[in-house]
Amino acid sequence: MIGSIRLSDIATQMDAQLIGEDVSFTAVSTDSRTLKTGELFIALAGASFDGHRFIPQAVDRGAVAVVVSTRQSIDLPQLLVDNTEKALGFIGSLNRQKSGATVIALTGSQGKTSVKEFTGAILKTEFNVLVTQGNLNNMIGAPLTLLRLEKAHDRAVIELGANAAGEIAWTARITDPHIVLINNAAETHLEGFGSLQGVVRAKGEIIDSGKSTHTVILNADDDNCEAWHDRAIAAGRQVRLFSIAKPQKTKVDYQALNIQADADGSRYTLTTPRGWVDCFIPMPGRHIVANAVAAAALAVEAGASLEKVAETLACVKPVPGRLYPLMGVQGARLLDDSYNASPSSFKAAIDVLADVCHASQRRAVVIMGDMAELGDKAEMLHSEIGSYARERGVNQVWTVGAFSSLATQAFGDGAHHFDSQESLCVYAREAMANDMVVLVKGSRSAGMDAVVAQLTTGGPH
């Protein structure tokens, strides 16, 4: 944090009730197990947990005060609020307002974590940068990230995610970014958004929710770019476009040209308003190139040099769970993409698998777990994955999960469905061979990382 905050500062601006002494704090905790002496404890509550139950532990560990939604019988200052989650966001916003850093925020249905990591890596070569840790991108994670801002930071890269409308509006408001990017929109979290257009509108909330936002970077290759562009212009923002497609009628500011991809990565020429530079990224897939161009756009708009963009991208490494190459049993190569899945990200992963197998003359196998939160489109979208795998020349599909069985039917000959991960792994360990590349993918709730663990022999390939 930057300096200290007094409870009265929060109480006045949030119309909250201060009970006890008006103390100050320089750090915040939402976890009584890791709280340190002198920190403010915020008792968050959710569907399956209630931080108020752990206030005695927070007191024992030396909390200076607590933020609660119900008055507590404790001899410690407390701030009584209507919603402790909103209080966390407000406190994060107070710390953000003290920062002189150039703040970047980004969102999208896919690739936002990769874009965040690429952007942070580029900027760190020239600046002192705060980057969202892991996937702390929601209503709790975003303010916790803002609370990590220190006076020494001159750049911040904040990832914003959402499961429902209004969430990005809130996190973008407290983040108050100068530069924002929407990577794409796809049919994800449909149970929360209702439809693809619901996703598009929600992602667009990042455009006009921050008072300091002056530049909006959009994916010209996304079908929804025009809607976001109109929203940005209406909000008085400067718009920058990025693309990996061939030259278009619309002027594109950041573009990858002459893309040459193989199993080891992609080479391309990056054109920007500041000139051009040849780039190589050692990860396969055109969607990886798109993420790299998005990151370059963010970094350059935030002051990075093209030289540092190219140098950094040439050294990036794949992230475990995201098309992470491993050595599988029986000498097979395995692509661990088990972190999460949506219909569009699944198709992108199959594209990578097909390209790698074409370049290496190996057989392509997809191990598929269910994709979550697809609402009433779940059956159709799972079937589409089976059909798409067939179209892209995949040799075999092995599935587990109620909805994934529909992909088996759509794929036809060469597909096998299993009632459990255990039976799938028994079969796979026997069937895998050294002329195969095996893609493992499914939503986090499908737990496909457990399948990866059963089918690998050790470290990265």
Instruction: Examine residue 91 and state whether it is found in any structural domain, yes or no.
Output: no
Domain boundary among 313, 340, 361: 313
How many domains are there within the chain?
Answer: 3
Burial of 247 (0-12, 13-18, 19+ CB in 10 A): exposed
Give the residue numbers spanning the domain of 351.
324-460
CATH number at residue 18: 3.40.1390.10
Are 304 and 192 members of one domain? yes
Please name the residues in contact with 453: beta carbons below 8 A apart, sequence gap of 6 or more.
Answer: none
Q: Could you tell me if 292 and 331 lie in one domain? A: no
> Which amino acid is residue 360, in one-letter code?
S
CA distances in angstroms from 406 to 205, 367, 380, 398, listed in the order given: 35, 13, 8, 11
In terms of domains, do 74 and 150 share one? no
CB 328 within 8 A of CB 438: yes
Domain membership of residue 318 (yes or no) is: no
Residue 250 sits in the same domain as residue 176: yes
Same structural domain for residues 401 and 357?
yes
Q: With b meaning 16 or more CB within 10 Å and e meaning fewer, what string describes 406-419?
A: bbbebbeeebbbbe
Q: How far apart are CA 346 and CA 337, in angstroms?
A: 9
Do residues 129 and 220 share a domain?
yes
Q: Which residues pair with 436 in a beta bridge?
A: 363
Look at residue 285 in the predicted model and tell me its pLDDT. 86
307 in Cβ contact with 299 (< 8 Å) = no
Q: What is the pLDDT of residue 77?
A: 98
> Which residues are CB-neighbours of 313 under 8 A, at least 6 positions away?
118, 122, 279, 280, 281, 292, 295, 296
Identity of the residue numbered 240: R
pLDDT of residue 150: 98
Q: Identify whether the C-beta of residue 179 lies closer than 8 Å to the C-beta of residue 102.
A: yes
For the chain, the residue count is: 461
Report yes or no on 94 lying in a domain: no
285 and 382 housed in the same domain: no
Domain boundary among 313, 343, 373: 313
| Strands 65-68 and 40-42, sheet pairing | parallel
Q: What is the pLDDT of residue 249?
A: 64
Helix, strand, coil: what percent of the chain each, to 5?
40, 25, 35
Same domain, 20 and 53: yes
Beta-bridge partners for 184 = none
With a CB cutoff of 8 Å and minimum separation 6, the contacts of 317 are 282
| Domain termination site, one of 83, 115, 138 | 83
DSSP conformational letter for 50? B
Residue 319 is assigned to a structural domain of this protein: no
Residue 304: closest CA among 107, 156, 119:
119
How far apart (Å, rounded) are the C-alpha atoms in residues 198 and 204?
A: 10
For 321-347, b where at least 16 C-beta lie within 10 A, e where not — what string?
bbbbbbebbbebbbbbbbbbbbbbbbb
CATH number of the domain to which 267 belongs: 3.40.1190.10
Residue whose tokens read 């929601």: 138
Nearest to 442 by CA among 403, 411, 392, 384: 403
Q: Are residues 181 and 54 in the same domain?
A: no
Question: What are the tokens at 8?
Answer: 């009265």
Could you state, in chain order, the average pLDDT of each consecutive group of 10 residues for the chain (461 residues)?
A: 96 94 98 97 93 97 98 97 97 97 97 95 99 95 98 98 95 98 88 89 96 97 96 98 82 94 87 98 91 99 98 92 92 94 93 91 97 92 98 98 97 97 97 97 96 81 51
290 and 266 Cβ atoms separated by less than 8 Å? no
278 and 357 in a single domain? The answer is no
Do both 330 and 305 map to the same domain?
no
Cα–Cα–Cα angle for 60, 42, 80, rounded to 5 degrees:
105
What is the distance in angstroms between the CA of the first residue and the CA of the last residue of the chain?
40
**What's the number of CA atoms in the CB half-sphere (13 Å) around residue 71?**
6
The answer to whether the beta carbons of residues 240 and 215 sit under 8 Å apart is yes
Q: What is the Cα–Cα distance from 439 to 397, expressed in whole angstroms?
A: 10
For residue 329, tell me if it sits in a domain.
Answer: yes
